[in-house]
Amino acid sequence: MGKTQSRLTKEDRWKQRFIGLCFSKPLYSRFKPIGMLKYLLFLLPWPFEWLPAQTLQLNANIGYYTGASLRATRGRFIFGDGPCYTGSVDYAFKPGKIKKDIIFELQYGFVSTTLHFQRNDSERKMPFGTVKMHTMLAGAGKEFGHGPVHVYAKAYIGAQYFDPDSISNGERLTLSFSFATGLRIAVTHTMGVCLQAQLLMPLMYNRVYVGWEPDSGLQTQVAPIGVLFSGYLTGGIYYNIIKKD
């Protein structure tokens, strides 16, 4: 019996598991709410059996938000600089004969900073309290290098949510693009340090004026393609949940 099992390939063993999952009991009885999580966890390693080299990675970073300025019709909105926090899940693999890692990433970022408005005819910057910015992005890129140090570049698309605390109904959800580059330095086989610079480009269009103007009656609005250029400079650690060389 042991010799027969040893001759089975990894793909054959996974097929046996799947057939047993589907047919050893009525299928509907296996996918109850409590049991679904167990079988999802059971099937999670499936794709990792087929690709020759891959990594599933968690990243946690802290750093500096550069601040930003958004030009409007009657003045400009000024976003202050300050600390920022990001976290991400990365999946990297080497498809076929390609020697460079292909990376897919889901990223979340958070910033809480000051917001001011400066009219075109005045030097005074009117305080608007604080604004919280949540960034949710999905992206892909490539990683280069050998040994413990790797360089990478990524491009993202997603959404950025603005939540000013002193403006009634001032929340805004906008489309955002982003580009990032950085270094990944391995300390052990499973952990390391990452340093990253990231450009953020949420598209504000003309939605800023609703509820954001400093005086009643004004309709301060940005140009049809108003882009809020800003960025993160971050550093942190990463942990490889699964690493298959």
What's residue 4's pLDDT? 46
Of 50, 57, 25, 51, nearest in space to 39 by CA: 25
What's residue 199's pLDDT? 97
pLDDT over threshold 50, residue 24: no
SS3 of 20, please?
helix
Higher pLDDT, 203 or 22: 203
- The domain made up of 52-244 has a fold known as Porin (2.40.160)
Q: How far apart are CA 220 and CA 75, in angstroms?
A: 8
Mean pLDDT computed over 72-87? 89
DSSP secondary structure letters along 117-160? EEETT-S-EEEEEEEEEEEEEEEEEEEE-STTEEEEEEEEEEEE
The letter for the amino acid at 140 is A
Q: How far apart are CA 162 and CA 222, in angstroms?
A: 16
Residues with Cβ within 8 Å of 14's Cβ and at least 6 positions away in sequence, in order, are 46, 49
Domain extent listing, the chain: 1-50, 52-244
pLDDT tens-digit map of 147-179: 899 999 999 999 999 998 887 777 888 899 999
The letter for the amino acid at 164 is P
What's residue 145's pLDDT? 82
pLDDT tens-digit map of 188-214: 989 999 999 999 999 876 545 544 655
pLDDT over threshold 70, residue 10: no
